[in-house]
């Protein structure tokens, strides 16, 4: 038995999830009654995901804000860095929303129990704005009021920074809590193959193999979103703000983009990006070693685009047509959620709940979408991480130009 578990955990998680998906498809087609009997496993997995959403949102955003307390990061370089990343992040969410509305990858998606439903009477703009500030944060946490939770998380983080040395124990506690949550998510992720098997088997039993058609369109939309983010946002910044030759820049950073794609991790890309910034882009160490680590924490253009796209995908899948007010809320919460996304596997899927709940989507439906996409998220994650790596080096180069921190080539 020990040998079995050793071999089981030696297999990469995404391969186990893919194998579970294949078994789930076969079971749903060949034995629909058994697929229905496994529903309880899918329900338990969905509840595990829901259980982690609120603590992940609160701890990730609050600890992310406190991580910027380093005085070096709060000066001119830090202000310009955060401002630029805020700009690229909002652009990324907008592109994700636009691509989702254009391609409509979620239209007709077969998600089993995710049926079209009415959201009820829409809140007025006044109520939405006032509701951002919670009267009772404990009640907001219990209700999963994500706009209120995000606001309080950011305010709490700034309060910790302003407390100085007295706030340091709380900052350390938030960082420690983030590590605990990281391991909790790892535990839940280890159960993913069983949850995916149950959810996919039920979906296939109810809807047939047509359930996968929308995943193909979602993959196309993710690739399109990454390409558009680079072409419409990063490329103009390099050409006009950093005044660098575009083709030379992207030939120079190709190694970082390749590492980002292969590892699906901004943190793992950081050492390569730092080498490129120092040796090839000739950015001074003071700027490169300040901007790039900040970017690894908050420069999540790929995640931001993906959250915007998945929000539209989810609304389409459950038969909801978003109005301008809903799109504005998705833009705002999507950008804030991307800023606070923790460096954990498939973290953007967990942060998706923060966005969807703000426009009236139930946690049950959000978790169903997460379970539907999770088997395919590894490849999608690899693709969208390329945009994040590109954003990090783009912002670093622009800030270096503004700070006159690019060393001239030898002989010039």
Where are the domains positioned within the chain? Answer: 10-402
Q: Is 108 left (phi over 0), alpha (psi -120 to 50) or beta?
A: left
Q: Are 176 and 162 in contact (CB under 8 A)?
A: no
pLDDT interval class at 343 (50, 70, 90): low
Q: Compute the C-alpha angle 343/344/349, nearest 5°.
A: 110
- Distance of alpha carbon 146 from alpha carbon 46, whole angstroms: 18
Q: Return the higher-pLDDT residue of 78 and 110.
A: 78
- Least Cα distance to 363 among 143, 211, 148, 149 occurs for 143
Q: Is the pLDDT of residue 228 over 60?
A: yes
Mean pLDDT across the stretch 366-390?
79
Question: DSSP code of 394?
Answer: H
Q: Return the higher-pLDDT residue of 62 and 206.
A: 62
Q: Is the pLDDT of residue 210 over 90?
A: no
State the average pLDDT for the chain: 80
Q: Return the higher-pLDDT residue of 74 and 365.
A: 365
% the chain with pLDDT above 70: 83
pLDDT interval class at 115 (50, 70, 90): very low
Q: Return the higher-pLDDT residue of 215 and 252.
A: 252
pLDDT interval class at 100 (50, 70, 90): very high
- Class of CATH domain 10-402: mainly alpha
% the chain with pLDDT above 90: 23
pLDDT interval class at 342 (50, 70, 90): low
- Residue 411's pLDDT is 46
Phi, psi at 320, each rounded to 5°: -110, 130
- Residue 46's pLDDT is 72
Counting other chains too, the contacts that 12-16 makes at CB distance below 8 Å and 24 or more residues apart are 13/189, 13/190, 13/192, 13/193, 13/345, 14/378, 16/192, 16/193
């Amino acid at each position: 038995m020990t040998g079995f578990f050793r071999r089981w955990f030696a297999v990469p998680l995404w391969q186990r999830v893919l194998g579970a998906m294949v078994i789930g498809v076969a079971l749903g087609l060949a034995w629909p009654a058994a697929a229905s009997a496994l529903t309880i496993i899918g329900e338990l997995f969905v509840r595990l995901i829901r259980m982690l959403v609120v603590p992940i949102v609160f701890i990730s955003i609050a600890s992310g804000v406190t991580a910027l307390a380093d005085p070096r990061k709060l000066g001119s370089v830090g202000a310009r860095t955060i401002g630029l990343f805020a700009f690229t992040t909002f652009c990324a969410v907008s592109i994700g929303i636009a691509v989702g509305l254009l391609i409509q990858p979620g239209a007709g998606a077969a998600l089993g129990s995710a049926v079209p439903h009415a959201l009820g009477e829409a809140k007025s703009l006044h109520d939405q704005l006032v509701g951002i500030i919670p009267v009772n944060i404990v009640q907001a946490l219990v209700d999963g009021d994500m706009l209120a939770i995000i606001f309080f998380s950011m305010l709490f983080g700034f309060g910790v920074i302003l407390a100085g040395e007295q706030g340091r124990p709380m900052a350390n506690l938030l960082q420690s809590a983030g590590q605990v949550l990281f391991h909790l998510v790892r535990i839940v992720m280890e159960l993913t193959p069983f949850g995916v098997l149950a959810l996919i088997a039920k979906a296939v039993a109810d809807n047939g193999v047509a359930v996968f058609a929308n995943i193909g369109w979602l993959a196309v939309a993710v690739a399109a979103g990454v390409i558009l983010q680079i072409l419409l946002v990063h490329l103009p910044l390099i050409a006009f703000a950093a005044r660098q030759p575009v083709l030379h820049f992207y030939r120079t950073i190709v190694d970082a983009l390749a590492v980002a794609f292969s590892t699906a991790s901004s943190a793992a890309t950081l050492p390569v990006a730092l080498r490129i910034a120092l040796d090839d882009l000739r950015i001074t160490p003071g700027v490169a070693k300040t901007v790039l680590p900040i970017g690894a924490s908050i420069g999540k253009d790929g995640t931001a685009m993906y959250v915007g796209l998945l929000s539209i995908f989810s609304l389409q899948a459950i038969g909801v047509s978003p109005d301008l007010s809903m799109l504005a809320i998705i833009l705002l919460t999507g950008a804030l959620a991307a800023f606070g996304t923790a460096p954990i596997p498939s973290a953007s899927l967990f942060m998706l709940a923060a966005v969807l709940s703000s426009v009236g989507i139930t946690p049950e439906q959000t978790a169903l979408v997460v379970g539907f996409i999770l088997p395919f998220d590894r490849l999608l994650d690899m693709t969208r991480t390329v945009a994040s790596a590109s954003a990090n080096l783009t912002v670093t180069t622009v800030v270096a130009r503004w700070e006159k921190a690019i060393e001239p080539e030898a002989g010039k």
